[in-house]
Amino acid sequence: MKKLRLSLDNKHSLFGLIFMLPGFLGFVVFILIPLLFAVYYSAFNSGGRFALINNFDRLFASYAFLIALKNTGLYLLVGGGLNILFSLAMAVALFSLVKKNVRVASFAKVGFLMPLVVPTGVSVLFVQILFSGQGTINQWLGSQIDWLSTSPYTFWILVLIYVWKNFGYFVVIFLVAFAAIPTEVYDAAKCDGAGALRSLFSIILPQIVPSLFFAFIMGIIGVFKMNRESYLLFGDYPNESAYMFQNFIKNNLDNMEFSRAACSSVIFLLFFSIMVFLMINLSERAD
């Protein structure tokens, strides 16, 4: 019997598959299968009957869902947009310092990442100390505003937390992107007489488009990870301006309303898929 011999290429492929297997199994068990279950629950009711249109109809008739959708969209635009703007500006400033070998730039890079490692409970406590009725902000301003339970301050507090937590991470992403641009490009721009602003908008930003798109996608994911801070600060039923998608899904799951939670998840999945598809296409065109 002929012994099966694998070519070197096939051996590498096999080893690659073996190493991939745990991650792939994890993806299937913890992401793909629950996703398919969510799609199922969005299409069928608790009695097992097909009710796709009815489920989505009930969902869109829910005032709470519409508020959650509106707030989450706004949060994404405002929080995500501000985050990218600030982190880009800081990355540009830091990069120029790095190029001049200013030491503080290295410390700043590490410092900006610190909020990412601060436990959620600690950051929530910090926010409460700052913004509660007898908090630091009110003492400074001499006011008695209950920032944590008054609309629209609750929304802006969530935006603040989001930007503070994720800002450093995006600074690092953009710094890496700037560093990847060949120095000849900068030199050529200088030779052509381009100023700093002109270089930034006409040469540097187009070069880092893939990183911008990556940051945008990570920003969307970051918005949905803010649920912990929102829950600890405002509870299950916060002020209307702080009521997000995550609140809606969690509360429906708590009440065993699977189809509604699943429908919401499917909507988010569709939105996210469209965003990723658009980003990939735009990124390819930019290349």
Partner 1 sequence: MGKNSMNTKWIGLLVCVLFISLVGCTQNGEDDTDKTEQDPLVIYCMESNSNVDYYIRSFKSLYANIDVVKKTFADPTQMDELVVNELLVGEGPDIIIFSDQTGLDVLRMAQNGSFASLDKKMEKDENLSIADYITSAIDAGKIDGKQYILPLTIKIPFIIYNGDDDSNFLPNHVITHRQFMDSLITNIDRFKDNENYGVIAGANPIIPMLISTQVLAISENNKPDNLNDANLKDVVEWIYTYYHEYQSKSRNILSRSGMNNISVAESFMYGYDFSLDLLNNVWAHENYYREAGINRLGISVFNEIGSNNVAAVLGSYGVITNNAHPYAYDFLRIAMDANPMSDDRVLYGLSANIENIRTHINAYMNKPETFYRISPDLAFWVEPMSGDMGDTLNQIFDSINNVVILNPKIVGIFQEAFSPYIYENSKPYDECAADFKQRLNLYLSE
Question: Which residues are at the interface with partner 1 (CB under 8 A)?
Answer: 36-37, 39-40, 43-44, 46-48, 62-65, 67, 133-134, 144, 146, 149-151, 235-240, 243, 248, 251-252, 254-258, 260
Per the CB < 8 A criterion, the answer to whether 145 and 130 are in contact is no
Given the complex with partner 1, which of 25 and 104 has the nearer CB atom? 25
Cβ proximity to partner 1, 109 vs 257, nearer residue: 257
Q: Residue 211 or residue 265: which is nearer to partner 1 going by CB?
A: 265
Cβ distance 213 to 275 under 8 Å?
Answer: no
With respect to partner 1, which residue has the nearer C-beta, 104 or 270?
270
For residue 189, the minimal CB distance to partner 1 (Å) is 40
DSSP string, 76-139: IIIIIHHHHHHHHHHHHHHHHHHHTT-THHHHHHHHHHHHHHS-HHHHHHHHHHHHSTTSHHHH
Q: What is the DSSP string of 171-184?
A: HHHHHHHHHHS-HH
Least Å from the CB of residue 16 to partner 1? 19
Smallest gap, in angstroms, from Cβ of residue 70 to partner 1? 12
Whole-Å CA distances, 246 to 166, 206, 229, 265: 18, 34, 11, 9
* Least Å from the CB of residue 44 to partner 1: 6
